[in-house]
Amino acid sequence: MKCIRSELIGWGHYLPPKVLTNDDLSKMVDTNDEWISTRTGIKTRHISEGESTAQMSVKAAGKALEKAGLTAADLDLIIIGTLTPDNTTPSAAAKVAGLLGVKSGTPAFDVSAACSGFVYALTMADNMIRLGQVRTALVIGAETLSKVTDWTDRNTCVLFGDGAGAVVLRALEGIGTAEDTGILSTKLYADGTKYGFLYTTGGVSTTANAGYITMDGKEVFKSAVGCLSDAAEYVLKDAGASVEALDWLLPHQANIRIIDGVGHKLGIAPEKVIVTVDHHGNTSAASIPLALSESLESGKIRKGQLVVLSAMGAGFTWGGVLIRI
């Protein structure tokens, strides 16, 4: 049965120029390259020096629009997954719409789902495209996590980085099978009973400031492998595709041990797993679009290939998207 699909027609990413190494961090807190590398797989991360989430988003979006051969005037929708918007209100998406020069009346909003923010945003955009409400959507994952990082806490400050990734989706009539291009299946989850395992120490209605990220790393780790694999398995099954048919697993980039665990659990060879955590660190909602855009740009992920995106983060929230490029 024919159906409307959301085809990926553009992508782009932006990383702020400043690179922070593990050796740099060892001069700030009691840590070392050996610990960070073996426990997390992270070697370097990018840190914004004055560029906001919206400003980085505009740079990533500009590249995505150029790749798609479109201008901001062609957009019908903007969604940004972020936990670090420029202001508490309005949304980063509204600011980006203004900065890009998107036509008045185009809906723009943020999604707050922490590290799952991009997968949530992509799912919202896909649903609106499938319903025929919009035809062309800009979906961004962007973070300035350096602003909510406690740079004196070695448990967390070695993990995070800044950056932005963007994609442009366009409605396409598909044949309705897993052979279609575009988004084939999406699935979102949350479990609010896990709220206290990963959160910021502040918030608007409590402390009236943003606070800093704090987490029970072991508890998050324990749930992460299961959540990320379950979401990937669900969307594969839902689309009638097998793990063997998959070209790439692109999981949230939080920790190489989690990424390896997911690949192992799903039975996917390490060569088919996208890894950018080594040079991006954990960029929360930006992690998947950064890795996706970088892999498409380098030619690692190619047209026609089947890719499963899988994210997990604070909330807990988690989810998966199956897409044929």
> Does 227 engage in binding with ligand UT7 (CB under 6 A)?
no
> Does 218 engage in binding with ligand UT7 (CB under 6 A)?
yes
Please give the Cα distance from 4 to 135 (Å, whole number). Answer: 10
To the nearest 10°, report the CA torsion of 139, 52, 296, 265: -80
DSSP string, 35-80: HHHHHH---EEE--SS--HHHHHHHHHHHHHHHHT--GGG-SEEEE
> Does 220 engage in binding with ligand UT7 (CB under 6 A)?
yes
Q: Which of 22, 252, 255, 280 is catalytic?
A: 252
> Does 279 engage in binding with ligand UT7 (CB under 6 A)?
no
Residue nearer to ligand UT7 on the CB measure, 138 or 231: 231
To the nearest 10°, report the CA torsion of 68, 73, 77, 80: 70
Other beta carbons less than 10 A from residue 242's beta carbon = 11
> Does 226 engage in binding with ligand UT7 (CB under 6 A)?
no
Other beta carbons less than 10 A from residue 41's beta carbon = 19
Residue nearer to ligand UT7 on the CB measure, 154 or 265: 154
Residues 5-44 that bind ligand UT7 (CB under 6 A): 31, 35-36, 39-40
Between CA 126 and CA 136, with CA 131 as vertex, the angle to 5 degrees is: 55
Sheet with 317-324: list strands edge to edge: 182-190, 317-324, 306-313, 248-251
Please give the Cα distance from 216 to 197 (Å, whole number). Answer: 5
Residue nearer to ligand UT7 on the CB measure, 59 or 280: 280
Phi, psi (rounded to 5 degrees) for 46: -95, 140
Q: Is 115 a catalytic residue?
A: yes
The one among 43, 130, 135, 154 contacting ligand UT7 by CB under 6 A: 154
Min separation Cβ 255 and ligand UT7, Å: 4
**Binding residue count for ligand UT7, defined by CB under 6 A:** 19
Residue facing ligand UT7 at closest CB distance: 217
Q: Give the contact letters, 158-177, x = binds to ligand UT7 (CB under 6 A), - = no.
A: x-------------------
The one among 217, 233, 237, 278 contacting ligand UT7 by CB under 6 A: 217
Structural contact between residues 31 and 62, judged by C-beta atoms closer than 8 angstroms: no
Residues 238-267 that bind ligand UT7 (CB under 6 A): 254-255, 258
Binding site for ligand UT7 (CB under 6 A): 31, 35-36, 39-40, 115, 154-155, 158, 217-218, 220-221, 224, 254-255, 258, 282, 313
The set of catalytic residues is 115, 252, 282
